[in-house]
């Protein structure tokens, strides 16, 4: 049997644990989602999230070990998300990981959540290797990264305000869609006209992103139409919003790839589950001769298998943390 790594994830509203063998083979992948708990508030409430993590973390770890048929003593390392994320939430997973590392004497590996999202692709695609360009798009992040080799990252662009997922979620909330609205907008859009509502494409220059102007314009367009008593098709509105977001993501990712001279493009994070983004970027990448990869939908959103995988490769490169490791809510990838 290859090396076994337990991954633990609690940076936002999913409490998750997973055992991964050799960095690539998932033996168990348990995700306890808190989404229904936060839904009535229209977003994640940090205090509620950390309290729920405390309740769930030990049962989730137990289940992950049991499903994998692995005893704690058989683990080779314990990987945990140490940032970025909600500090109260991060501390729950980190404390559990440290306690387990202490009692078992196994090495502790702190993992950056964004790096973990990237590794969801390495779990899904054994023939994937850097150099590559990665677009990481989630509820909290929109980062365009150059990865020349494992463990090395250069940030080429990032959002200056809202994340792409936030734009989906906040506009969706005004449309009366349940949190998180991204998957619902994806679904509605398949029956809508992406050219029905004229919406702006924010910050077309450079490789940074800006979605707050689009978010405000979309919310205003929705309210104005309602005030005029116009009937707006939710499908058309969803498709137009999605197209405005996807247009910018595809354009900048392709430009980043052209500038860096790589031959591989990957996407990761919750918004990488979006079907239109996969389709549009897949078409552009194929036309320009790039290899294009994305993780299966359940590995796009927050999970601990990606943490175990990223942790495994960090550990293989000799990165082990002490038990004094702290969480860092605004941890950067470098």
By the criterion CB under 5 A, which residues form the site for Zn ion? 138, 302
> How far apart are alpha carbons 199 and 173 in whole angstroms?
17
Distance in angstroms (rounded) separating the CA atoms of residues 70 and 87: 30
| Six-digit token string for 97 | 């990981």
5 binds ligand KG4 (CB under 6 A): no
Task: Find the shortest distance in angstroms from Cβ 258 to ligand KG4.
Answer: 25
We find the least distance from the C-beta atom of residue 271 to ligand KG4, in angstroms, to be 4
CB 138 to Zn ion: min, Å: 4
Of the candidates 89, 142, 274, 309, which one interacts with ligand KG4 according to CB under 6 A? 274
Segment lying near ligand KG4 (by CB under 6 A), choices 21-29, 46-54, 63-71, 265-273: 265-273
Is residue 265 within 8 Å of 291, Cβ to Cβ?
yes
Residue number with the smallest Cβ distance to ligand KG4: 270
**Are the C-beta atoms of 84 and 140 separated by less than 8 Å?**
yes
- In the bound state with Zn ion, the residue whose beta carbon lies nearer, of 115 and 302, is 302
Q: Tally Cβ neighbours within 10 Å of residue 120.
A: 29
- Closer CB to Zn ion, 106 or 314, in the complex: 314
Distance CA 268, CA 69 (A): 29
Of 2-10, 67-75, 225-233, 264-272: span binding ligand KG4 (CB under 6 A): 264-272
State in angstroms the smallest separation of the CB of 269 from Zn ion: 6
Name which of residues 172 to 211 contact ligand KG4 (CB under 6 A). Answer: 180-183, 186
Cβ-contact 91, 327 below 8 angstroms: yes
Q: How far apart are CA 145 and CA 143, in angstroms?
A: 6
DSSP string covering 161-223 = S--HHHHHHHHHHHTTPPSS-HHHHHHHHTTS-TTSS-------SSS-B--HHHHHHHHHHHH
Nearer to ligand KG4, 29 or 274 (CB): 274
Using the minimum distance from each CB to Zn ion, give the nearer residue, 138 or 159.
138
Residue numbers of the site for ligand KG4 (CB under 6 A)? 12, 138-140, 165, 168-169, 180-183, 186, 269-271, 273-274, 301-302
């Amino acid at each position: 049997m290859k090396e076994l790594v337990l991954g633990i994830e609690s940076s936002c509203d999913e409490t998750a644990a997973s055992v991964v063998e050799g960095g690539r083979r998932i033996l168990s992948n348990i995700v306890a989602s808190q989404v229904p708990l936060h839904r009535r508030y229209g977003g994640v409430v940090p205090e509620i999230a950390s309290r729920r993590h405390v309740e769930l973390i030990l049962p989730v770890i137990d289940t992950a070990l049991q499903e994998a048929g692995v005893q704690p003593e058989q683990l080779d390392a314990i990987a945990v998300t140490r940032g970025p994320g909600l500090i109260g939430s991060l501390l729950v997973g980190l404390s559990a990981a440290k306690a387990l590392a202490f009692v078992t004497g196994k090495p502790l590996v702190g993992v950056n959540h964004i790096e973990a999202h990237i590794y969801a692709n390495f779990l899904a695609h054994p023939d994937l290797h850097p150099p590559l360009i990665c677009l990481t798009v989630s509820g909290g992040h929109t980062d365009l990264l150059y990865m020349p080799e494992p463990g090395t990252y250069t940030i080429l662009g990032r959002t200056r305000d809202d994340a792409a997922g936030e734009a989906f979620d906040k506009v969706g909330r005004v449309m009366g869609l349940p949190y998180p609205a991204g998957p619902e907008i994806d679904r509605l859009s398949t029956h809508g006209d992406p050219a029905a509502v004229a919406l702006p494409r924010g910050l077309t220059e450079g490789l940074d992103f800006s979605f707050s102007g689009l978010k405000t314009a979309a919310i205003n367009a929705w309210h104005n139409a309602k005030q005029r008593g116009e009937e707006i098709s939710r499908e058309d509105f969803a498709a137009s919003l999605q197209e405005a977001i996807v247009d910018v993501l595809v354009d900048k990712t392709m430009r980043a790839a052209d500038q860096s001279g790589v031959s591989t493009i990957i996407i990761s994070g919750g918004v990488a589950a979006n079907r239109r983004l996969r389709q549009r970027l897949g078409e552009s990448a194929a036309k320009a001769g790039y290899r294009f990869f994305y993780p299966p939908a359940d590995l796009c959103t927050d999970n601990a298998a990606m943490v175990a995988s990223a942790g495994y490769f960090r550990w293989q490169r000799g990165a082990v943390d002490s038990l004094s490791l702290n969480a860092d809510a605004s941890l950067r990838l470098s």
